[in-house]
Amino acid sequence: MINYQGDIIELNALPVQDVKRATMYGDAVFETIRMRDNKLLFVEDHYFRLMASMRILRMPIPMEFTPEFFVDEANRLAEEVAVTDGRLRLQVVRKSEGKYTPDENNECVWWMELEELSTQDYTWTPKGLKVDLFKDHYIQPGLLSTLKSSNALPYVLAGIFAKENGFDAMLLVNDKKMLVEANAANVFVLKDNILKTAPLEDGPLRGVFRKNLIGWAKEIGLEIKEESINPFELQKADEIWLTNTISGVQWVEKYRKRTYKGDKAKELIELLQRKLNVLGAL
């Protein structure tokens, strides 16, 4: 079941005409939001990123689009599918005839899907990830690269490469060979209590979890720097983290011949869990 424009329907009943442009041209944006105990996490951050993305893509923004509207609609869907902890995907598509250029630009449609997660909390795992660099295709830096749009071929291909070659994730670089992000996460590199992540100018997604982690890291004694990262720095790093809203912080255990620990990643996850417990008590 999905929530389509306020109606709870079967996924296969989604009107084909309404998703045509998303299918043909990737003319769509989306947000992936974690639901914990019937609460959407970081909902205002997701909302403002969605609004910014729609403006950049010159999509008309319906008057009813507010944080409260999306929370109410998400709760309706959660009640219908009986899910309290899950992954909510909110998709917004421009609806119009035309080829590359839409005939009209006066309507968007939206729908939500909610997939149940096996755990309520962000957790630290004793086994880290195995990663490598993905060199087949580069991220092209620019405003569009920071958006969570349906144009996702580099991430799709990197994910396929990882699956075919026994990696948990791939690290992507831009056209200047600087480290940008992973195929489904932002990347943080820790060395001597300095935590670095690629600046938005280098092409990473404007991650919601990334934004919040930059503030949280200071609470565990880390200095934050948004600077270009040369992949050679990975060999000298103390820890490498992959972060997104659904998984939280995942630590890298193996990159090529180098092995890492995840002690600071564990400390950050414990800090975040305390924050969420306080939020849940409000």
Residues 182, 108 share a domain: no
Task: Provide the CATH number for the domain around residue 10.
Answer: 3.30.470.10
Whether 169 and 263 share a structural domain: yes
Same domain, 85 and 133: no
Any domain includes 89: yes
Distance of alpha carbon 10 from the chain centroid: 25
Whether pLDDT at 280 is above 60: no
Q: Does one domain contain both 227 and 141?
A: yes
CATH code for position 173? 3.20.10.10
Q: Nearest-CA neighbor of 30 among 96, 93, 124, 100?
A: 93
Residue 139 lies in a domain: yes
Residues of the domain holding 163: 129-281
Q: Are 148 and 57 part of one and the same domain?
A: no
Q: Which of 69, 87, 116 is the last residue of a domain?
A: 116
Residues 138 and 110 in one domain: no
Decide if 122 is inside a domain. no
Note the pLDDT tens digit of each residue in 145-171. 999 999 999 999 999 999 999 999 999
- pLDDT digits over 230-256, tens only? 999 999 999 999 999 999 999 999 999
**Does 124 reside within a domain?**
no
Q: Are 112 and 148 members of one domain?
A: no
Spatial distance between the Cα atoms of 106 and 277, rounded to a whole number of angstroms: 42
Are residues 187 and 106 located together in one domain of the fold? no
Residues 142 and 274 in one domain: yes
Q: Which letter, b or e, does each residue of 237-256 get, where b requires 16 or more Cβ atoms within 10 Å of its Cβ?
A: bbbbbbbbbbbbbbbbbbbe
Q: At 279, is the pLDDT very low, low, confident or very high (cuts 50, 70, 90)?
A: low
Alpha-carbon gap, residue 282 to 279, rounded angstroms:
5
Q: Answer whether 108's CB lies under 8 Å from 57's CB.
A: no
Token couple for 217 = 């890291």
Query: For residue 281, is pLDDT > 50?
Result: no
pLDDT at 83 over 70: yes
What pLDDT, on a 0 to 100 scale, did the predictor assign at position 71? 97
Task: Give the pLDDT band of residue 91 (cuts 50, 70, 90).
Answer: very high
Considering its fold, how many domains does the chain have in total?
2
Strands 248-255 and 129-139: parallel
37-41, 95-99, 138-142, 146-150: which range is least confident on average? 95-99
Q: Could you tell me if residue 107 is inside a domain? A: yes
CA–CA distance, 75 with 103 (Å, rounded to integer): 35
Q: What token pair was written down for 150?
A: 């349906």
Mean pLDDT for the stretch of residues 222-236: 97
Asked if pLDDT for residue 48 goes beyond 50, the answer is yes
Which positions ≥6 away from 197 have C-beta within 8 Å? 186, 187, 188, 189, 204, 210, 214, 224, 225, 226, 229
Q: Classify residue 121: in a domain, yes or no.
A: no
